[in-house]
Amino acid sequence: MKPLRLGTRPSALALWQANWTRDALEANGVPVEIVKIHTKGDVDRDAAIVNLGAQGVFTKEIQRALLLGEIDLAVHSLKDLPVERIDGLRLTAVPVRADFRDAFVSNRFATLDELPPGAVVATSSMRRQSQLLRRSNGAWDVRPVRGNVETRLQKLDDGEFDAMILASAGLNRLGFGSRIRHFLERPDFLPAVGQGALGLETRADDAETIARVAPLADEATFLSVLAERSLLATLQGGCLVPIGALGTLAASTQTAQSSQSAEIAEINAEKRQTLRLDAQILSFDGKTAFQTVATQTFDAALSDDEKKEIAERLGRDAAQTLLDQGATELVAEIRRIRDERAGLKSPQN
């Protein structure tokens, strides 16, 4: 059997993801060859992500190699994968999600709430920056930090910051789980869209690779992140806008009709699922925020396409609720500020 050529970034975290995917595929009898591809985000590690230009700084070169047939499969950290569809490519599988939460790391303080006014907190994310500023009412000095996980932790250990916020999934995957002091929880701290999940991308017409990768898919994770990505696409936010979202899928807890016996009610409950989407959008300074929770219950026996449509519709509905709450002007202002920071000229009205 010809090995699948698996494209990945060369960073330690990306290689962990690629190795995990390779091991999972080979456990199913599929041989894999890992191909390292450098991306713009890997080359320019000193510039803030917002200054690197368009979306997809960690994915475009890999997707190009996939389209050209230089690789057969790409593995992405799903939060880095832009939501815009690319003709010829397909998000084929999303494996079981790791811990989606953000983690508080500090050598001086045990929890976020222990931070005093003026504390210097580092994060690589505009979303986390906005959440931290909102939580502290602007009392903390929130600063951007770039570099891989090891580099960022070293800066913390060198005393540049009092604390740092990182994705718990990345810390755990790289063996730094012991550095986590506590987790940032919802509703105030929602993760990035797709955080903790991997996305396995193939060419849309490569039926053989699609079939080989399919066993790694997890329906609950896929539908959850699909709702999150639909929300992001509707808001047209991209990864540089302070948007948090968390989709979760569980067996329905809806109360059965009173005429049903307890046994029938239990059986029916097992046949129904509820998809929940928590969503928020914040201003860069954290002073303004809109939040919502949307749910949809459906029959577990529906087809994959029907479930996919439900998840995408839930994301669109949640986004519209945020806009109806008053987020329309906030979205426009965020885009204007984002484009100015990226050196882009906003279109004239």
Q: Which residues are catalytic?
A: 80
Residues comprising the chain, all counted: 349
Dist. CA 276–CA 227, nearest whole Å: 9
For the chain, where are the alpha helices, taking DSSP H only?
A: 12-27, 40-43, 60-67, 126-136, 149-157, 168-173, 207-213, 219-235, 262-270, 304-322, 328-341
Dist. CA 248–CA 220, nearest whole Å: 7
Tokens of 74: 């790409």
Tokens 């991997």, residue located: 198
Dist. CA 28–CA 44, nearest whole Å: 37
Within 13 Å and on the Cβ side, how many CA atoms surround 279? Answer: 31
Within 13 Å and on the Cβ side, how many CA atoms surround 219? Answer: 15
Within 10 angstroms of residue 52's Cβ, the number of other Cβ atoms is 17
